[in-house]
Structure 1
Amino acid sequence: MTLLNDIVSADGRKGGSGETLAIRGGRPLRGRVEVKGAKNLVTKAMVAAILGESPSILRDVPDISDVAVVRSLLEVHGVHVTDADEPGAFVLDPAEVESAHFEEIDAHAGASRIPILFCGPLLHRLGQAFIPDLGGCRIGDRPIDFHLDALRKFGAVVEKLPSGIRLSAPNGLHGANIHLPYPSVGATEQVLLTAVRAAGVTELRNAAIEPEIMDLIAVLQKMGAIISYEPNRVILIEGVDRLRGYDHRAIFDRNEAASWACAALATDGEIFVGGAKQQEMLTFLNVVRKVGGDFEIHEDGILFRRGGELKPVIVETDVHPGFMTDWQQPLIVALTQATGESIVHETVYENRFGFTQALVQMGADIVVHPHGLQEGPRRVPRRNLEQAAVINGPTPLHGADITVPDLRGGYSHVIAALTAEGESIVRNVGIISRGYEKLFDKLAALGADFDVLG
């Protein structure tokens, strides 16, 4: 596997975040694509390798830029990362973990927010850690307060500097009782990565329970951790003195799988998503069926297609086992082709409907309500930050000149361009490389008509 800081085009060229596509749409996407390990698990499992006293092997690693960033960060901290005995597998050897200068961390982190998750493991190994200014997709505030508050409860000393945040653990780390104000995935990962070697027992309440969290727990258990899950989002972690390396095959990327499913619905195509599993996608599959899509469950993947005329739906995003926030953006593209009024309530992140401006430019009838909709029955509790999008369809989409705003929104723009009649110019597509492996190759295999303009 090569180390990529950008994306590899269908013709083999690398392209940075400013790469531009000319897409000629109006053709159904048909064929098969393969999804590898989940970005949201793989990057965290790579960090977990720091905790082991022997090398770890991680399998089904996708060749995406977020993985490249984490690999670079591990290497500047002294972790040796090499290719394993099969394609898409890493050996991570933490024998020579060392401190890294903040300028090195900042240079390799780029816009990634992953450095925050290095804190617990580095505090255990070195007694100190540093976090530069953090970036990420522009989809709303992602405060690190949950992380820092949890680390303080473990006994970490947090010092804010002009260049970032320095943490130390002069007396080591100990177990803690932590109640998250919201079941944050990142904060749950932070607690898990810190608690497994903290002295004593940690009780985490209101924890995130996404499949990627459960897979991270499986990784840590393989390393020798003692972690149990109780009802009502309670996780108990008994700290241990030492951990060993792991050998683990990552859970599939359900976000990418859902994205290709929505592409099949939007373009009236038929896409077999190899590697997708039913259990982790139950909530999404129910919505596919409600909207008029069809799917077939196979042992090696799931086949998605339209089952007839697309129908409107009402969707509320939520933490697992609810409908994922990362699923709503590609779904909205498909909903522009549904007959009637659909409503999507976004309750996880604020400002995540910015991508719909480009869809409106392409002919979609979408109205965003910045403070949500107060009327109507709801299953997910309302939040102050929530927004709602009302989509009326079907509306034919036409080509336009658009710029990718973020990872999932960017993929949705590409699918909208493939759905639209005429040619679209899609700029800044390199950001999509953060979460989609070999995107251009996959689009070409599905019969998409596009050129890379540079």
Structure 2
Amino acid sequence: MESIMHIEGGHPLIGEITVRGAKNFVPKAMVASLLADGPSQLRNVPLIRDVDVVSDLLGLHGVQVDFDQDRGVMTLDPRNVKAARRADIDALGGSSRIPILFCGPLLHQLGEAFIPELGGCNIGGRPIDFHLDTLRKFGAVVDKRPDGIHISSPAGGLKGTVVTLPFPSVGATEQTLLTAVRAEGITTLHGAATEPEIMDLINVLQKMGAIISVDTDRTIRIEGVSHLTGFRHTALPDRIEAASWGAAALATHGDIYVRGAHQPDMITFLNTFRKVGGAFDIDEEGIRFYHPGGPLRSIALETGVHPGFMTDWQQPMVVALTQAEGLSIVHETVYENRFGFTGALRQMGATIQVYKECLGSTPCRFGQRNFYHSAVISGPTPLHGADIAVPDLRGGFSHLIAALAAEGTSRVSGVDVISRGYEHFLTKLHQLDARVEYVDAA
């Protein structure tokens, strides 16, 4: 039976919630534990589905995973690492794209890895070609088979190499780091992603014994070492979840204190939040986001790789922009298919048009490829309740924000996908006095 969430909108979200470790970092740090010759401890771990998937995949490979969910403390012991049955990997891995990152560590530990068909949100192409090409550069042998991809290490082990990325891909940067740290020789990565989550992964790897330097021109150099030890690390907080709650406060005329939100990782979002007309107060424990009264202002917004405006911030911000005066323009340059969620917003009364043209300051790589990657939002438009279906993780949470801001009752299906990246989101909604409940579809 599919769970349906009933949301009675039109009420401001007011109260306090807490965010824990970043979804875009914690599973990657868990994978990094495979590289060690002893146990690791990771703190500030959120209870989200991606963490469950990686825990299960690690368990299949012989890693002992112990998770104190209340404290958010996880211990990972890889000393009995082993090959896993392909059928078991396929059963678990299909719901996530993270298994591709197991390749480097497994090649070092076992000499081979198997990758099934990969899942994840349908927000545009996330080809694994970068990953496979990178692994080949290290000397790995990639064999595509009907049931998945088999990857093996050459007789002499993986060797350092030069990797140049055509776009600062987070996943390809993570793949290179996780493979290079124990490859023989020096690896130079040009065009690397430098998001805070990447830098925290580098922090973890350095604690394990890796030698990594980061230059200002997006060049990362990794000097391979023969072995790595376990780590003890506290994950950086989830800046995407924090911003999502900030946008929810703005859209619902609310006032939300997000304990755990970290200003240095959110500077670009905070600047945009203020330009739109939102207000925030920052202290050592978190950030208070609130609507100060008065009209919201339209803006021109362009997503980009760090330190630009994060693509995962775009969708919740678009909901808030439906309540801003005038025309707002949003140019998406990271994923080509990220405006699919706007259909539900139009159904709820928003005035949004999407375009194939680049409506940003400069043309992007999607401009000549027939993708709807720019949007014009006209506001303010009253939103009303509707029956809507969640399309993906970030779009789904944005739909929740829209339903909470709308007058009337909305029925939202497919909300379970939100648990991939938002810990206890229903409990947090109740903490903010949201009028929401689950019902079972007939």
* TM-score bracket for this pair, using the shorter chain length: over 0.9
What residue in structure 1 maps to residue 173 of structure 2?
Answer: 188
With over 3 angstroms needed to count, the CA separation of the structure-2 counterparts of 1:452 and 1:287, relative to structure 1, is: same
Identify if the C-alpha distance between structure 1 residues 25 and 147 changes in structure 2 by more than 3 Å, giving closer, same or farther.
Answer: same
What is the match of residue 116 of structure 1?
A: 100
Aligned residue type for 2:235: A
Report the residue type matching 2:277 in the other structure.
G
Deviation at 1:109, TM superposition (A): 1.6
Identify the residue that residue 63 of structure 1 maps to in structure 2.
47
| Aligned counterparts of 2:437 and 2:262: Cα–Cα separation in 1 | 32
Per-residue CA deviation, residues 196-241 of structure 1 (Å, 9 max, x unaligned), is 0000000000000000000000000000000000121000000000
Query: Any stretches of 5+ residues in structure 2 without a counterpart?
Result: none
Partner of 1:237: 222
Structure-1 residue corresponding to 2:185: 200
Per-residue deviation, 1:85: 10
Structure 2 SS opposite 1:271: strand
Matched to 2:246, the amino acid is A
What amino acid sits opposite 2:287 in the alignment? I
CA shift, 1:87, in A, is 1.0
Corresponding residue number in structure 2 for 1:352: 338
SS of equivalent residue, structure 2 residue 24: helix
- Corresponding residue of 2:410: 424
Q: 1:411 aligns with which of 387, 397, 402?
A: 397
Aligned equivalent of 2:252, options 237, 242, 267: 267
CA distance in 1, matches of 2:81, 2:235: 24
Residue 255 of structure 1 corresponds to which residue in structure 2? 240
Q: Deviations over 1:53-106 (max 9, x none)?
A: 010000011000010000000000000001359711110000111111211101
2:314 is paired with a residue whose SS is: helix
Please give the secondary structure, in 2, of the residue aligned with 1:70.
helix
User: Aligned match of 1:340 in 313, 326, 338?
Assistant: 326
Aligned to 1:323: 309
Matches within 5 A, 1:274-289: 274-289=259-274
* Distance change in 2, residues 1:267/1:84 (3 Å): closer
State whether structure 2 residue 383 is matched by structure 1 residue 383: no
Post-superposition CA distance 1:122-147 (Å, at most 9, x none): 00000000000111101111100000
Displacement of 1:19 = 2.1
The percent of aligned pairs where both chains have the same amino acid is: 62
Please, what is the CA RMSD of the aligned residues? Answer: 1.3
Change (3 A) 1:65 1:85: closer
The 10-residue stretch of structure 1 (108-117 or 77-86) with the greater mean CA deviation from structure 2: 77-86
User: Within the alignment, does 1:130 sit opposite 2:117 as a pair?
Assistant: no
Structure 1: state its 5+ residue gaps.
Answer: 1-15
CA spacing shift, 1:346–1:63, aligned 2, 3 Å: same
Q: Distance in 1 between matches of 2:70 and 2:254?
A: 33
The answer to whether the Cα contact below 8 Å between 1:397 and 1:416 also exists between their aligned partners in 2 is yes
1:452 aligned to 435, 438, 441, which one?
438
CA contact (8 A) 1:22 1:426 kept: yes
Structure 1 residue 372: deviation in Å? 2.5
Cα distance 1:290–1:382, how it changes in 2: closer, same or farther (>3 A)?
A: farther
Q: Which of 32, 38, 41 is 2:22 aligned to?
A: 38
CA separation of 1:84 and 1:440: change in aligned 2, threshold 3 A? closer
Aligned to 1:148: 132
- Structure 1 position 381, deviation (Å): 4.2
What secondary structure, in the 3-state scheme, does the structure 2 residue paired with 1:170 have?
coil
1:310 aligns with 2:296: yes
Q: Counterparts in 2 of 1:363-374, with a 5 A limit? A: 363-369=349-355, 371-373=356-358
Q: Distance in 2 between matches of 1:223 and 1:132?
A: 29
1:303-328 CA distance string (max 9 Å, x none)? 01123311001110101000011000
What amino acid does structure 2 have at the position aligned with 1:201? I
2:326·2:378 contact (CA, 8 Å) conserved in 1?
Answer: yes
Show CA shifts across 1:125-179 (max 9, x none): 0000000011110111110000000000001000000000000012210100000
Report the residue type matching 1:64 in the other structure.
I
Residue in 1 aligned with 2:64? 80
